[in-house]
A and B are shown apart, each in its own frame.
Chain A
Amino acid sequence: MLILECPYCGVKAEETELSPGYEAHLKRFGPGSSPEEFEAYMFARKNPKGVHFERWRHTYGCGKWFLAARCTATLEVFGTYPAQVSEPPADIIAKIQARRPDWRPDWKDMK
């Protein structure tokens, strides 16, 4: 059972109280973008084995969207944070690196 702490109401909510929102920190490519960019935005998803950032909604609680960093292989949750950010905050990255020393953020090289 996946348990995520909602950063808005502080409830340690179990999976059935939440709705999944899939990959977090997608950058939208809308009108004016190239077909390749739009295709990547629309369809390309990371699906890593390991550290992953996801959107979740506390559907049956406060109803807010938040983001979670967790490991897809072990289901370990590194932390949750509010959704009003474009990349994971430093304390979440520190928590991940404490547990996964060889993990490196990959969004720095991304366009």
Chain B
Amino acid sequence: MSDPVSALNGASAQGFAAIREVGPLGMITLRAKGLKSLDKAIKAVTGTKLPAQRRIEVNGDRACGWMSPDEYLLILPYADVSAALASLAKSLAGEHYLAVDVSDARAVFRVEGDRAAEVLAKLVPVDFDRLEPGELRRSRTAQVAAAMWKQDQGFTLVCFRSVARYVFDLLANASR
């Protein structure tokens, strides 16, 4: 098998905040709503509970985020995705759900440093002072959609892979 490659091969930039591309990261989009086995299915994959509205539950290198009333984002190591899909198929067998491997369709960035929020505040119409720890916020970064949350003295930002270079350049320029 060929090796997975992230969108920008781990590009980084240093301004008043540090920008770096993370990855490749395993990601599964899970669309399901109100299933009674959903808690267990997510627990088996990420080890977290089902996130409440607009929350992200982080467990080491795994996480589960609330994306919309019927959509969850599961984050896990890249190599574990196929096992996780199999686990979901087993836990949710017979139920109405959709789970898709979107690892290679996304790019993930970290914005780190004391002034990380200032970088994002230039690009995103969100009041970052009021963004709670553990809150996942979907919004736009300049002209493209992105999801972001506070984690370990910085922010993690997820966007589509096709706009990875655009978002990286935005972040790098905003941190100058």
Interface size on B, residues (CB 8 A): 12
Task: Enumerate chain B residues within 8 angstroms of A63, measured Cβ to Cβ.
Answer: 68
Are A16 and B67 in contact (CB-based, < 8 A)? Answer: no
Given A11-B54, A17-B125, A62:B69 Cβ within 8 A: yes
Tell me whether A9 and B69 are in contact (CB under 8 A): yes
The answer to whether A17 touches B68, judged by C-beta atoms less than 8 angstroms apart, is no
The CA-CA distance from A11 to B67 in the complex, in Å, is 12
Chain A residues, Cβ within 8 Å of B53: 9-10
- Contact partner, A16, options B71, B125, B137, Cβ 8 Å: B125
- Residues of chain B lying within 8 A (CB to CB) of residue A22: none
The answer to whether B54 and A10 have CB atoms under 8 Å apart is: yes
Residues of B contacting A8 in the complex (Cβ-Cβ under 8 angstroms): 68-69
B39 nearest CB across to chain A (Å): 20
CA distance A63 to B69 in the complex (A): 10
Q: A9-B54, A11-B54 are in contact. Are A62 and B138 (CB under 8 A)?
A: yes
Which chain A residues (1-21) contact chain B, with CB distance < 8 Å? 8-11, 13-14, 16-17
Q: Decide yes or no: A17 and B67 within 8 Å by CB, A9-B53, A9-B54, A60-B145 being known contacts.
A: no
Interface string of B135-163 (1 = CB under 8 A from A): 00111100001000000000000000000
Interchain CB contact under 8 A, A64 and B68: yes
- Of residues 10 through 35 on chain B, the ones whose CB sits less than 8 Å from some CB of chain A are none
Bound form: Cα–Cα A17–B144 in Å: 10
A-contact bits for B67-87, CB 8 A (1 contact / 0 none):
111010000000000000000
Chain A contacts for B71, CB-based, 8 A: 62
Please state if A14 and B69 are interface contacts (CB–CB under 8 Å). Answer: no
Tell me how far the C-beta of A82 lies from the nearest C-beta in chain B, rounded to whole angstroms: 10
List the interface of chain B (C-beta within 8 A of A). 53-54, 67-69, 71, 125, 137-140, 145
> 15 A-B contacts, Cβ less than 8 Å apart?
A8-B68, A8-B69, A9-B138, A16-B125, A16-B140, A17-B125, A17-B139, A17-B140, A59-B145, A61-B139, A62-B67, A62-B69, A63-B68, A64-B68, A64-B69
